[in-house]
Amino acid sequence: MESKDEVSDTDSGIILQSGPDSPVSPMKELTHAVHKQQRALEARLEACLEELRRLCLREAELTGTLPAEYPLKPGEKAPKVRRRIGAAYKLDDWALHREDPLSSLERQLALQLQITEAARRLC
């Protein structure tokens, strides 16, 4: 039996409960559910980041430069990118965007010839 020197938990006003009826149990369940959801979200985020890495590397193979959106982990260096063999040449930007007077005249002449041919067919 208990002696008078021993104090029980109920004497001090603290009620210790454990089991399914305890008020701590719902909080533990909620914490467990939140941690489980966090792990699921982190796994999905990692999968999305892996897909983004794969797409960025594919783009880099085609263009020859790694996009700025490529996700790097802390301390990770950007990977070296090798261009695909089919795209090993570079087109001259000046030749693509310049307005050559001769080619402009040739386009206008071709358009005028098409207009006159269409007019002849109508008459």
Question: What spatial distance separates the first Cα and last Cα of the chain, rounded to whole Å?
Answer: 125
| C-alpha–C-alpha distance, residues 116 and 111, integer Å | 9
Report whether 66 contacts 60 (CB < 8 A): yes
Which phi and psi (to 5°) does residue 43 adopt? -65, -40
Each residue's pLDDT tens digit in the chain (123 positions)?
445 555 454 555 555 555 555 566 888 999 999 999 999 999 999 999 999 999 999 988 888 888 988 988 888 888 888 766 654 556 566 555 667 778 878 888 888 999 898 888 887
In total, the chain counts a number of residues equal to 123
- pTM for the model: 0.47
pLDDT at 86: 57
Q: Give Dmax over CA atoms of the chain in angstroms.
A: 126
DSSP state, residue 86: G
pLDDT at 84: 65
Q: What angle do CA 66, 68, 73 make, to 5 degrees?
A: 90
Instruction: For residue 25, give both structure tokens.
Output: 């149990």
